[in-house]
Amino acid sequence: MISSNRKTELAGVDYVRALVNRMECSFQEFSHHNDQGNDCYIEFVENLIPANYGVFVQIKSGESFKDGSGYKIPADKRHMAYWAKSLYKAIGIVYDPEESKAFWVDLSLYIRSNPQILHQETHNIRVPRDNEFSVSTFNQFVEYCFRYKAELQAYDNLGRSLELFADVENPENCFEGFKALYSIHRDKEASLFYLISNFSRIRDEKIRRHILGILSNYFNPDIFWHANNIKHFPSEESVATIKRILNDCFGVTEIKCMVPYMQEGVVRGSFSYLVYLILSSIRDSHLILKYICFNLNEETDFRNFCFWLYLHLSKFKSVEETIMTADKYLSQFPDAQNDDAIVGVIESIQRGELYPVG
């Protein structure tokens, strides 16, 4: 059962999502368990084309964010420091369920304009009532954010973003670099290369998950790009660039890092399915999985799941080779003969039923 507080929070998120989608921009929600001060990412569109530029947003909803002076976003010292050093535009939105209205504030600018508050343990960031977040004012909001695009996309910002992203021992810095690279600099091939090539070096599971999430946007129109916005799906050129870099950078180590995100089951519409879409875009992923499967040092469940993935990818390359490899695998690892998922796929391949995953 969802608590009343959570329902109120969701009302704010739903309001922002609906408005952004109506204005034909893109809304990507983050897990409410994240502790990085962001609830969603809004991608802007320019002349019906994705602008490769957007803002990260924290959404507050309910009466507790309203007082006699107007609207407010309570912030502690840690979050204020976090927003103050951000390399991208951070926006705060307060949704008033009684009025069915929302209002926004530039968190980055507010803190930089009031540096004294960084010494306070807590502070109420005031949200101007003039900054309504609505259909009629959305273009003004976009115009405001675009004033900073050139400044944020400058090469000194790119350099600082790369430096933070490379700090894999410090998850907060690494995540800051990731968000700046994706929201501001992903039109540069260097940014895409570092996002992909750094994947296996990152130890923080949340950051890895975010990287896989944004990569899947290039292969799946159903998640990041809503139905009315399908015309804004990434261009063939950008998808080809991502595939090329993935094929250059992803090998045994990277694919072994991906597998755990799929082990609960690959079902269309789930995160595991998005990860599978990335895996299937890697040209030799079936061969890499085959190599992993015959490694005697792998744990049984992990090895068998990798073989299940191999079967689904390899059958579209060569049925004969896949069946021969299956016979060899079952002979070398007899425990797999009791794995219904593996046996079921092998039997379907033998019957000539080459169904896709999901």
- In degrees and rounded to multiples of 5, residue 41 shows phi and psi of -125, 130
pTM (predicted TM-score): 0.80
Question: Does residue 195 sit in the same domain as residue 327?
Answer: no
Question: Does residue 223 sit in the same domain as residue 262?
Answer: no
38: domain CATH number?
3.40.1350.10
Range of the domain at 273: 255-350
Surface-to-core class of residue 135, CB atoms within 10 Å of its CB (0-12 exposed, 13-18 middle, 19+ buried): exposed
C-alpha atoms less than 13 angstroms from C-alpha of 234 in its C-beta half-sphere: 22
Question: Does residue 125 sit in the same domain as residue 40?
Answer: yes
Residue 222 pLDDT: 58
Radius of gyration from C-alpha coordinates of the chain: 23
Q: Tell which of 103, 123, 152 closes a domain.
A: 152
The answer to the question of residue 204 being in a domain is: yes
Question: Does residue 171 sit in the same domain as residue 313?
Answer: no
The answer to the question of residue 206 being in a domain is: yes
Q: Alpha helix locations (H) across the chain?
A: 4-22, 77-84, 107-113, 138-146, 149-152, 155-165, 171-184, 189-197, 205-216, 236-249, 252-258, 271-281, 285-293, 300-314, 319-332, 340-350
Question: Does residue 307 sit in the same domain as residue 235?
Answer: no
Cα–Cα–Cα angle for 120, 113, 40, nearest 5°? 80
Residues 6+ apart with CB under 8 A from 221: 230, 233
Q: Tell which of 128, 152, 176 closes a domain.
A: 152
Does residue 93 sit in helix, strand or coil? Answer: strand
Residue 136 identity: S
Query: How far is 3 from 232, CA to CA, in rounded Å?
Result: 36
Question: Does residue 194 sit in the same domain as residue 240?
Answer: yes
Residue 218 pLDDT: 85
Question: Does residue 222 sit in the same domain as residue 303?
Answer: no
Which residue, 315, 311, 197, 220, is CA-closest to 268?
220
Question: Does residue 64 sit in the same domain as residue 139?
Answer: yes
Question: Does residue 218 sit in the same domain as residue 200?
Answer: yes
Q: Tell which of 234, 249, 264 closes a domain.
A: 249
The answer to the question of residue 345 being in a domain is: yes
Residue 238 pLDDT: 84
Residue 224 pLDDT: 45
Residue 84 pLDDT: 85
The answer to the question of residue 120 being in a domain is: yes
Residues 6+ apart with CB under 8 A from 141: 104, 131, 133
The answer to the question of residue 293 being in a domain is: yes
CB 42 within 8 A of CB 27: yes
Question: Does residue 282 sit in the same domain as residue 223?
Answer: no
DSSP string, 244-265: HHHHHH--HHHHHHHGGGTTT-
Number of domains composing the chain: 3
- Mean pLDDT per 10-residue interval, the chain, length 358 residues: 70 94 86 62 81 90 93 93 88 96 96 94 96 97 93 90 94 92 89 95 92 86 50 73 96 97 90 94 97 94 97 97 97 95 96 89
Residues 6+ apart with CB under 8 A from 72: 65, 66, 94, 124, 125, 126, 127
Question: Does residue 5 sit in the same domain as residue 121?
Answer: yes
The answer to the question of residue 69 being in a domain is: yes
